[in-house]
């Protein structure tokens, strides 16, 4: 209870002048809001005793949702549950609260497009009419190809939509309706999207001459080689959690440092802050002192920055595009560049949980062909509010360009390190028959030691 009182004191210090005069029926004083938070934190059943006026208080419910339980939003007044700018703030905490949204939000196209950035499974709860709208379906797939899995059966049987989704996400193939999945156009796109989809074909489909020419089967010997290669070249063995021996991925750009034409860290810092549930939380903040114009770093690649801007402008605002930082640029060959742009933004809004940040990230391979650049997207996060977690070294799952690999025949593979929850692991991308880079092999996860120092609240590894 001491932490609850501490929260109330902090509340008075930070928000002494908050006015609730805009509430349609009555005002709530700071003291009254603080008392309600204190009472509900002690006895959750007391939330049932809130008046209509209290149920309309944005600050009261933002504090309850952020600090006690996101599902408390179901007790809010309908005016809050139908307010898109209010409701969307809390989806990163638990996407399932979307079921408490008012019906007008569940059929609001703009709201849904923003909401699925938190979690694609939100589409389970929206108005089914939207999932039967082809033009809206295109927007959903463009933002996240896995949207295809939630469309109406009629739209899942649409050849254009299936190919659109399959080109961006090879995992779509086994979920395409069987009648459509047996079409040659779909099979061809599935094999181009990922060669492992060959294993999902029927015996008769596998026996087709053109399929035999297009298929690429995994080589077990090559997989075994990469397992040994990655461990030998990039892994440091150490004692991990529970005294088990694990690995830490090290030696970035160990073998091809000259191909890395630009690199910088995006430093973040963990800060400890008091919560009202007798615990402390950890929030992340950017600690970037220099501000690069990422386009300057692409000056030696004419028209590439323009291509990147055109692509991102369909996903995020100009402000978000201009705020991104160049993290890494690698030259794979004279006509192939791999890069990562990244940015986080702390959200200055007293109604949003302090652990939520806004993230933009683009990891892609740029290929010069037919006098223009083509982008092969490896990983992307578009203007997404993400709840950070100390189980991730930098707050959330991230891709890092780690190194290149070349065999005796000068075939090139790209090695990525993936920073995941309490772990990190390798992914290798190689060219397919169409000249695009696709995931070929994964090894891990490796143990990454993460320690939060409760005194300094800084991360050390």
Q: How many CB atoms lie within 10 A of CB 392?
A: 20
3-class secondary structure per residue, 309-353 = HHHHCCCCCHHHHHHCEEEEEEEEECCEEEEEEEEEEECCCCCCC
Q: Helices (DSSP H) in 77-133: which residue ranges?
A: 78-81, 84-87, 103-106, 109-115
Q: How far apart are CA 31 and CA 37, in angstroms?
A: 10
Q: How far apart are CA 307 and CA 255, in angstroms?
A: 30
Tokens of 36: 């309600």
Collapsing DSSP to helix, strand or coil, 410 comes out as: coil
Give residue-wise pLDDT tens across range 308-319. 999 999 899 999
Q: In this predicted structure, what is the pLDDT of residue 148?
A: 97
Q: Which element (helix H / strand E) includes 162?
A: helix 159-168
Give residue-wise pLDDT tens across range 70-113. 999 999 999 999 999 999 999 999 999 999 999 999 999 999 99
Q: How many CB atoms lie within 10 A of CB 271?
A: 13
Q: In this predicted structure, what is the pLDDT of residue 29?
A: 80
Tokens of 276: 């009202």
Q: In this predicted structure, what is the pLDDT of residue 17?
A: 41
Q: In this predicted structure, what is the pLDDT of residue 402?
A: 97
Q: In this predicted structure, what is the pLDDT of residue 243?
A: 52
Q: In this predicted structure, what is the pLDDT of residue 15?
A: 46
Q: Helices (DSSP H) in 199-268: which residue ranges?
A: 203-206, 209-214, 220-234
pLDDT below 70 — which residues of the chain? 1-26, 218, 237-246, 276-278, 288-292, 433, 445-461
Q: In this predicted structure, what is the pLDDT of residue 19?
A: 39
Rounded to 5 degrees, what angle do the CA atoms 379, 383, 389 make?
Answer: 75
Tokens of 338: 């791999």
Q: With left for phi above 0 and alpha for psi between -120 and 50, is residue 269 left, alpha or beta?
A: beta
Q: In this predicted structure, what is the pLDDT of residue 238?
A: 65
Q: In this predicted structure, what is the pLDDT of residue 187?
A: 92
Tokens of 234: 């990039």
Q: In this predicted structure, what is the pLDDT of residue 452?
A: 45
Does the global pTM surpass 0.85? Answer: no
Q: In this predicted structure, what is the pLDDT of residue 433?
A: 67
Across-strand partners of 286? 268
Q: Which residues contact 327 (CB under 8 A, 6 or more apart)?
A: 263, 264, 265, 266, 339, 340, 341, 342
Q: How far apart are CA 284 and CA 357, in angstroms?
A: 8
Q: In this predicted structure, what is the pLDDT of residue 268?
A: 83
Q: In this predicted structure, what is the pLDDT of residue 78?
A: 95
CB 126 within 8 A of CB 106: yes
Q: In this predicted structure, what is the pLDDT of residue 440?
A: 80
CB 418 within 8 A of CB 398: yes
Q: In this predicted structure, what is the pLDDT of residue 7?
A: 53
């Amino acid at each position: 209870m001491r932490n609850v009182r501490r929260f109330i004191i902090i509340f008075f210090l930070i928000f002494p002048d908050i006015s609730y005069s805009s509430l349609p029926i009555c005002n709530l004083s700071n003291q009254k809001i603080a008392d309600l938070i204190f009472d509900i934190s002690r006895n959750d059943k007391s939330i049932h005793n809130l008046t209509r006026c209290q149920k309309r208080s944005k600050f009261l419910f933002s504090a309850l949702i952020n600090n006690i339980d996101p599902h408390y939003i179901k007790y809010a007044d309908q005016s809050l549950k139908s307010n898109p700018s209010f409701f969307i703030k809390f989806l990163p905490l638990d996407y399932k609260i979307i079921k408490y949204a008012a019906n007008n939000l569940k059929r609001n196209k703009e709201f849904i497009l923003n909401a699925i950035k938190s979690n694609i499974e939100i589409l389970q709860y929206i108005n089914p009419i939207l999932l039967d709208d082809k033009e809206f379906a295109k927007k959903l797939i463009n933002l996240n190809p896995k949207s295809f899995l939630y469309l109406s059966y009629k739209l899942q049987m649409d050849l254009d939509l299936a190919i659109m989704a399959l080109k961006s996400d090879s995992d779509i193939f086994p979920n395409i309706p069987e009648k459509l999945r047996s079409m040659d156009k779909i099979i061809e796109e599935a094999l181009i999207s990922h060669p492992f989809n060959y294993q999902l074909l029927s015996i008769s489909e596998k026996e087709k001459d053109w399929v035999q020419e297009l298929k690429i089967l995994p080589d077990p010997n090559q997989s075994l080689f990469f397992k040994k290669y990655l461990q030998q070249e990039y892994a440091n063995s150490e004692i991990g959690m529970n005294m088990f021996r694990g690995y830490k991925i090290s030696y970035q750009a160990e073998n091809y440092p000259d191909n890395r034409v630009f690199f910088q860290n995006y430093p973040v810092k963990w800060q400890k802050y008091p919560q009202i549930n007798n615990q402390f939380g950890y929030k992340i903040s950017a600690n970037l002192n220099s501000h690069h114009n990422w386009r300057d770093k692409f000056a030696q690649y004419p028209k590439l920055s323009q291509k990147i801007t055109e692509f991102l402008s369909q996903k995020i605002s100009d402000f978000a595009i201009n705020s991104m930082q160049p993290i890494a640029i690698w030259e794979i060959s004279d006509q192939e560049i791999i890069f990562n742009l990244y940015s986080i933004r702390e959200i200055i809004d007293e109604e949003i949980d302090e652990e939520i940040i806004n993230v933009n990230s683009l990891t892609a391979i740029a290929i010069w062909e037919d006098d223009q650049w083509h982008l092969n997207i490896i990983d992307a996060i578009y203007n997404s509010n993400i709840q950070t977690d100390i189980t991730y070294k930098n707050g959330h799952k991230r891709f890092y360009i780690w190194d290149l690999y070349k065999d005796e025949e000068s075939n090139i593979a790209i090695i990525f390190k993936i920073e995941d929850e309490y772990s990190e692991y390798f992914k290798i991308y190689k060219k397919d028959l169409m000249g695009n880079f696709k995931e070929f092999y994964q090894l891990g996860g490796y143990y990454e030691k993460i320690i939060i120092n409760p005194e300094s609240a800084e991360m050390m590894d």
